[in-house]
Each structure stands twice: as C-alpha cells, then as structure tokens.
A and B are shown apart, each in its own frame.
Chain A
Amino acid sequence: MKLTDIMVADAIVPQLKAKTRNEAIEELVEALASAGAVARKNVAAVVKAVIARESQATTGIGKGVALPHAKLKGLKRPVGTIGRSAEGVDFAALDSKPVYSVILLLSNPDGPDEHLQAMEAIFKNVQRDIFRKFLRQSETKQDLIELIQEADEVA
C-alpha cells in the first residue's frame, strides 16, 4: 500500500489551528469530511472514537509524530490525512515531546489486514529521519502532497 492511496490530498492541513490534541483530531476529521472522504453525519462519532482510542494509549510515538486512528464501518479502504502544527501539540507522547506531525488514519473494522498495511506504509516512511524532517518543514499542502508522492516513489 502507498501513502498516496491512503492520504486524501484535499484533506491535508499544512497549518493546524488546533492547540490541543482533541482540537487537532477534530480539525483533521473535519477536513476529511470536507474532502468527502468521511460522511458529514459521522464526524462527531469519528472524533469521539479517535479520542477514545487516544485516551486508552497515546499514539504519540515520539520524535514529533502522532498517529491517531479509529475504525469506521463502511469504508472501502483505509483513509487518512496529515496535519502539521508549527507550534506543536501535546499528545502525551512517549518521549513527552510536542507533536508537529499528526497523521490521522481511519480503517474499516472488517479489514484489519488493510489497516496493518496502511500502518506499515506510514511507518516505513515515518521511521526515516529525513521524512520526518520534511514532514515538519512542509508549509503548504502542495509541499506535503509532493513529499508523500516522492516517498511512494522511493519506497
């Protein structure tokens, strides 16, 4: 699976307004709805599910990256988006540091294997220092789109 198969380009948020974890999650789910990737009527429930998951155990895996996620029935494939925060958001990350790159992922509960493949596609890139650096420095939607397109070509 490739990043460009997962990430909804129109839903990428290069300048998150959010100051808190929950606001960041809301902003990204809202962006997915505006892009037509998530039904508007599901927004509140999806936000709640992502926050519930995050409250069980942080997805702030360190080095400025968090990967909040939840399961949403009816999805044909995993869908995600990227939010970038210049100031950083507190996700109670494993390394206690702020999160600058928030990657939201929604998967169908009936497709656990696809969820794992999507996670693999994300972490394959996120584990690379240079990818995280560019992720954090990309100030426009176009820069972020090009970043994931290039990452797919390399991978």
Chain B
Amino acid sequence: MTTIEREVTIPNKYGLHARPAMQIVELANGYTSKVEVSNGPITVDAKSIMSVMRLAATQGAVLKIVADGHDAEQAAAVLVQLVENGFGEMKPDEASTVSSEE
C-alpha cells in the first residue's frame, strides 16, 4: 500500500463548482485507492459528490489530495492534472450565463 500526498492550486475563475466536483468524483471512482481532498481544514471523500461539493474551493485555493492504496500514485497524478488544467474550463462558459441589462 502506498500513500501519496499532492498539493495543487485551483487556476480557473469559477473554482471547484458543480461540474469540476463531478469530474473529481468520476475520476476518483476509477481507482480502488481511498482518495481524500482537503481545502484548508475541510477534508472530504473524493468519491462522494455531496462531500466534494462542500469544499467551496475558490480560484487560488490550494487543494491537498491524499490517495491511499495500490493505485494511489496514478489516482493522485490524474486528479492533480485535472485541477491543473482548470477542469478544462479556462475559457468562459457563455451558454449558461445571462447578460441582464440591469
């Protein structure tokens, strides 16, 4: 068994909102290792969407990813890469934004 601990900074404007949270959970569930994510004092199970949504990690926040198990190294690496890539949303999302004239 291996325990891997990595830190990564959230680069995208909207931070760890619903879609990125789901991406983390989906990836984490692809590994047998136990995976936890922390934002400051809050640590949650990376395989539970309800939990990951609680991190409220904003742009610039440093997430700590701790993976524990046989595939811990791969799990941590993939999650770090996901965050580093800004969850694939370094461009603004126009479809779900309404520009009010108010």
Contact = CB atoms under 8 A, between A and B. Distances in A.
Assign chain A's interface to a size class. Answer: 35 or more
Interface stretch (B30-38, B45-53, B62-70, B78-86): B45-53
Q: Is the interface of B mostly helix, strand, loop or mixed?
A: loop
Contacts of B22: 57, 61, 94
A53 B95 contact: yes
Interface of A: 39, 42, 45-46, 49-50, 52-53, 56-57, 59, 61-63, 67, 69-74, 94, 109, 112-113, 115-117, 119-120, 122-124, 126-127
A115 B16 CA distance: 10
B6 interface: no
B98 A115 contact: no
B15 to A, nearest CB: 5
Assign chain B's interface to a size class. Answer: 20 to 34
Nearest to B50: A127
Closest 5 CB pairs of A and B: A53-B96, A120-B56, A127-B50, A74-B102, A123-B53
Contacts of A124: 54
B43 interface: no
